[in-house]
Amino acid sequence: MSSTPTAPKNFIRQIIEADLASGKHRGIATRFPPEPNGYLHIGHAKSIVLNFGVAKDLAGTCNLRFDDTNPHKENIEYVESIQEDVRWLGYDWGDRLYFASDYFEKLYAYAVELIEKGRAFVCDLDAEQMRQFRGTLTEPGKESPFRDRSVEENLDLFKRMRAGEFPDGTRVLRAKIDMASPNINLRDPVLYRIRHGVIHHQTGAEWCLYPMYDYTHPISDALEGITHSLCTLEFEDHRPLYDWVLQNVSVPCRPRQIEFSRLNVQYTVMSKRKLTQLVEEGYVRGWDDPRMPTIAGMRRRGYAPESIRDFCERIGVTKADNMVEMSLLENCVRDDLNRRAPRAMAVLRPLKVVIENYPEGGEERLRAPNHPQDESMGTREIPFAREVYIDRDDFREQAPRKFKRLITGGEVRLRNAYVIRCDEVIKDGQDEIVELRCSYDPETLGANPADRKVSGVIHWVSVKHALPAEIRLYDRLFTHPTPDAAREEGRSFTDYLNADSLHELTRCQVEPSLAGAAPGDFFQFEREGYFCVDGKDSVAERLVFNRTVTLRDTWAKIEQEHRR
Ligand code: ATP
Ligand code: MG
């Protein structure tokens, strides 16, 4: 039995290892069972890393199984995006790609078996009556008047339900368990319902009878030989039904369901219904909008799969409800990019600087390291000339002493280049600063910064050589740490959308070494953060970058503001 030393031993891992050690199982089999009714999000990543991770570490297998029993909400775009995202996260299901709909025929046969054993019946109560009969948490339910139908009648009706003889909502197949059970899930739960007129993405128009999740899931697990069926805590109360189904039909094995808590992350939402609403109502620009907590959004934003896996390992797996801070995820992303991202210079809000004592038409090629700590990443050439852009924010006409950038009459070092002094500020008719006139000291190239007392170091690009670019800055999608709680306050979660979550800076200038940067390439723009080339909108003539994450953690400040 092998186990990677880094994988933390969560309680599920301990159970599984114990089952292997005791010989209860010779090998383990898990599955990741998404419903193809939306894109995967960071919560799913937790489940993927757990299921695929444990299988990988313990030489087991993990199936990808689409839980596709709700055809009216599902579609093939989701089926495809889910496969892409799981693969991108670094996992491989080999030839074990399954659909619950693969088992429709078998599920039907098991339902017939239940009817024959007197453990399921066709019920004609409508939805409203069913609700009334179900009882409450404190009161037992009442038995359906159809509960004692004969096996023959049930078999006949069930066959005719499948044949399409009855309209939607007129009849269901129910398990015959216990209307007085304190667990409402055991009060004769519905196993099958009629749905006409939906075209299923896998089975087309073949079926008008669809099995419920609670019935489908245990049987699918058993048919695939799953040993440990890992799911989130809301299914804890469904476990007795999971076990009941497996006990009462002749499936080949008895998987064990184990629950763990869902991941929730602050300042975002994780329910697919809500994410769908954000996309459909145009609050974001699609499922892969870099502000979305989806895997596709994070990929486009520039998060590496390693960072997401690292995050999932760090948060661990427990049964305690958890709300994780966004800063934890961002720290994982930052740690990774700090190591791997080549450095470059980009000016987000350009202000032109003319260096008057630099020769007209002159230029030189300076060299800069691609990474301050990692020499193996090499160096690059950066052209310097008489006119450069600096960031507007790096200049003040007058500023407090702690302003470590350029001021009128003051000096600053241009990163990897010379020290300049600001001699004159040029303004337009509206009193807007349009240009700075500066002079440089030719003796300061590469000089030890300590030799010369300047207030700071700023980044820049040569006007003549720079490439125009668009840079998109993202902020949290919501202004409230738990927008999901909005309902309790009588508001909609969309009331808490952050109106300032996207800033598009369209007149940026980046250093010429970035020409040819391909979608997904990532950089640290010095002093600005980590950025990646957008996978959709960037073209060679006009690069578009997404800010992946800022250089430092900005969440503490946001939290403080929220508390105020
Ligand atoms: P939603 O309730 O938003 O529709 P879901 O749980 O129904 O989400 P599924 O596609 O059924 O989504 O989820 C597939 C698997 O991922 C399930 O095993 C589920 O428990 C797990 N999962 C979903 N959301 C989370 C989460 N936030 N944290 C951990 N696991 C999750
Ligand atoms: Mg689900």
Q: What is the pLDDT of residue 3?
A: 41
By the 10 Å C-beta count (0-12 exposed, 13-18 middle, 19+ buried), 539 is classed as exposed
Q: Of 428, 458, 488, which closes a domain?
A: 458
Q: What is the pLDDT of residue 4?
A: 47
- Whether 244 and 287 map to the same domain: the answer is no
396 is known as an active-site residue: no
- Whether 285 and 426 map to the same domain: the answer is no
Q: Of 423, 458, 493, which closes a domain?
A: 458
The upper half-sphere exposure of residue 8, i.e. CA atoms within 13 Å in the direction of its Cβ, equals 14
Q: Of 458, 481, 506, which closes a domain?
A: 458
Q: Is the CB of 30 under 6 A from ligand 1?
A: no
Which helix (H) or strand (E) element contains residue 217? helix 213-223
CA of 213 from ligand 2 middle (Å) equals 8
Residue 10, token pair as written in the block: 């969560």
Q: Is the CB of 262 under 6 A from ligand 1?
A: yes
Q: What is the pLDDT of residue 450?
A: 65
- Whether 481 and 430 map to the same domain: the answer is no
Amino acid symbol at 278: L
Would you say 383 and 513 are in contact if contact means Cβ atoms under 8 Å apart?
no
CA–CA dist 457, 445 (Å, integer): 13
Would you say 194 and 168 are in contact if contact means Cβ atoms under 8 Å apart?
yes
74 is known as an active-site residue: no
List of residues 6+ apart from 242 with CB closer than 8 A? 214, 217, 218, 229, 235, 257
Q: What is the pLDDT of residue 488?
A: 76
Distances (CA, A) of 87 to 9, 33, 52, 262, 305: 24, 15, 11, 22, 10
CATH code, 486:
2.40.240.10
* Domain range enclosing 387: 350-458
Report how many domains make up the chain: 3
CA–CA dist 345, 509 (Å, integer): 9
392 part of a folded domain:
yes
- Whether 192 and 320 map to the same domain: the answer is no
Nearest CA to ligand 1 atom 2: 271
The upper half-sphere exposure of residue 389, i.e. CA atoms within 13 Å in the direction of its Cβ, equals 23
- Whether 148 and 232 map to the same domain: the answer is yes
- Measured between its terminal Cα atoms, the distance across the chain in Å is 53
Beta bridge partners of 513: none
155 part of a folded domain:
yes
CA of 303 from ligand 2 middle (Å) equals 25
What are 379-397's pLDDT values in tens digits? Answer: 999 999 999 999 999 999 9
- Whether 56 and 152 map to the same domain: the answer is yes
For residue 539, the 8-state DSSP code is: B
- Whether 479 and 526 map to the same domain: the answer is yes
Q: What is the pLDDT of residue 58?
A: 96
- Whether 408 and 452 map to the same domain: the answer is yes
∠ CA 120-36-108 to the nearest 5 degrees? 25
3 part of a folded domain:
no
Residue 310, SS3? helix
CA of 43 from ligand 1 middle (Å) equals 7
438 part of a folded domain:
yes
- Whether 155 and 110 map to the same domain: the answer is yes
Would you say 26 and 45 are in contact if contact means Cβ atoms under 8 Å apart?
no
- Whether 555 and 504 map to the same domain: the answer is yes
- Chunked into runs of 10 residues, the chain (564 residues) has average pLDDT values of 56 96 96 98 98 97 97 95 98 98 98 98 97 96 98 98 98 98 98 96 97 98 98 97 98 97 96 97 98 98 98 95 93 97 98 98 96 96 98 94 93 96 96 97 80 86 98 96 84 95 98 96 98 96 96 80 72
Nearest to 333 by CA among 36, 42, 51: 42
- For tokens 């470059």, name the residue: 344
Per annotation, catalytic residue among 73, 262, 349, 352: 262
Q: What is the pLDDT of residue 1?
A: 36
85 part of a folded domain:
yes
* pTM of the full structure: 0.94
% helix / strand / coil in the chain, to the nearest 5?
35, 25, 40
* Beta strands at 172-175 and 190-194: parallel, antiparallel or unpaired: antiparallel
With the most atoms of ligand 1 within 8 angstroms of its CB, the residue from 10, 44, 268, 294 to mutate is 44
CATH code, 45:
3.40.50.620
Q: Is the CB of 231 under 6 A from ligand 1?
A: yes
Q: Which residues are within 5 Å of ligand 2 (an ion), measured at CB?
A: 35
339 part of a folded domain:
no
464 part of a folded domain:
no
329 part of a folded domain:
yes
Q: What is the pLDDT of residue 559?
A: 73
Q: What is the pLDDT of residue 452?
A: 75
Edge-first strand order for the sheet with 387-391 is 457-458, 411-414, 419-427, 433-441, 350-355, 387-391, 460-462
272 is known as an active-site residue: yes
Per annotation, catalytic residue among 272, 334, 380, 386: 272
What are 469-491's pLDDT values in tens digits? Answer: 999 999 999 999 999 887 777 89
- Whether 328 and 361 map to the same domain: the answer is no
Q: What is the pLDDT of residue 218?
A: 98
List of residues 6+ apart from 438 with CB closer than 8 A? 353, 354, 355, 356, 420, 421, 422, 423
- Whether 191 and 107 map to the same domain: the answer is yes
